[in-house]
Structure 1
Amino acid sequence: MMKIKVLQIRISERFQHPDECLVNDFLDRHEIIQMNAKLIEDETNYWSILIYYKNKSASTVPQKFFVASEKELSEDEKLIFSELRKWRMSKSKDLRLMPFMICHNTHLFSIAKYKPQTAEELLHIKGFNESKIKKYGLEIIEVLQNV
């Protein structure tokens, strides 16, 4: 059955990257039939994207671990999440990047829940690829080992 979804990408340094990640995540998880986009000029300019899609069959969806909310974490996992956030904040200051550019909260939720033991196991976390693991993998594993 075909469905529709409207997504936005705000054209602002603060919002563009996370909005793009949300759109890309949606595109990865669905079979896209058609898309239309229009630039909306407003207080914050944004691309409005109308997507016609079908749900992918379970066999075509990549099996990556994903936690969407802190509500899904146990008390111990919330402590791990807190330590990961401290690491991310420190790293963002060192690199002069916004924290979300290093890892989104959903990535940290997923790491806190899954508790990877090696950098390679981070590949099982949604949002992690070889590049991100090269940049941050060993430090993340170190944080997990010290919690």
Structure 2
Amino acid sequence: MKVKHFRVRVSGEHLQNDQDAINQFLTEVTVEKTATNFITGMIDYWSVLVFYSPKTEKIKENNETEKVAVLNYEELTQEEKNTLNSLKHWRSETSSKLGLPQYMICHNSELMTIAKMRPDSIDDLKKIKGFGQHKINRYGNDILSLLQVG
């Protein structure tokens, strides 16, 4: 969980801009909890602490169901980071065998999403952004096997 601090000044000239800034931020994250306190002094303002987690992005591809993508490494737990390292090792070995650049196998965001979601079926893999039928046919069984071992 992360924390961000905002100052919402109550003077008319700043109030709307400060409120817009906090509202924009709130649409981009998952709020865990908040704390507020009114501060008086030369400039009166609301001190707002927002405890949050990054939002997992859902993306629609080709009129299919929504696809999920984890875009921030900080979203991962330590166990998920360990899984990510195993997936990166697999990707490195696979790219060497096939003579392809690693990004042609899987992007980091795809591997992070796999580590976070831990799919246990081909249908679950289809929900991950970047995993179409071609990538699933080529690498799906390898990825699922790796996740079952780890």
Q: TM-score range by the shorter chain?
A: 0.5 to 0.7
* Structure 2: gaps of 5 or more residues: 1-58
- Aligned: 1:131 with 2:142: no
Letter in 2 for 1:140: I
Q: What per-residue deviation string (whole Å, max 9, x for no partner) do you get for residues 49-83 of structure 1?
A: xxxxxxxxxxx795111100211100000000000
Runs of 4 or more consecutive aligned structure 1 residues displaced over 2 Å after TM superposition? none
- How high is the TM-score relative to the length of structure 1? 0.58
Q: Letter of the aligned partner of 1:143 in structure 2? A: L
More strand by share: 2
Question: Normalising by the residue count of structure 2, what TM-score does the alignment of the two structures yield?
Answer: 0.57
Which residue of structure 2 lines up, in the alignment, with residue 86 of structure 1? 89
* 8 Å Cα contact 1:65-1:114 kept in structure 2: no
Alignment deviations for residues 97-117 of structure 1 (CA, whole Å, 9 cap, x no partner): 010000000000000001000
Q: CA deviation at 1:132?
A: 0.5
> Displacement, 1:143?
0.7
Query: Sequence identity, in percent?
Result: 38
Any gaps of 5 or more consecutive residues in structure 1?
A: 1-27, 30-59
What does residue range 1-147 of structure 1 map to in structure 2 within 5 Å? Answer: 62-147=65-150
**CA 1:135–1:72 in structure 2 vs 1: closer, same or farther (change >3 Å)?**
same
* Deviation for aligned residue 1:118: 1.1
> Cα RMSD (Å) of the superposition?
2.0
Question: Which structure is larger by alpha-carbon Rg, 1 or 2?
Answer: 2
* Alpha-carbon distance in 1 for matches of 2:64, 2:92: 32
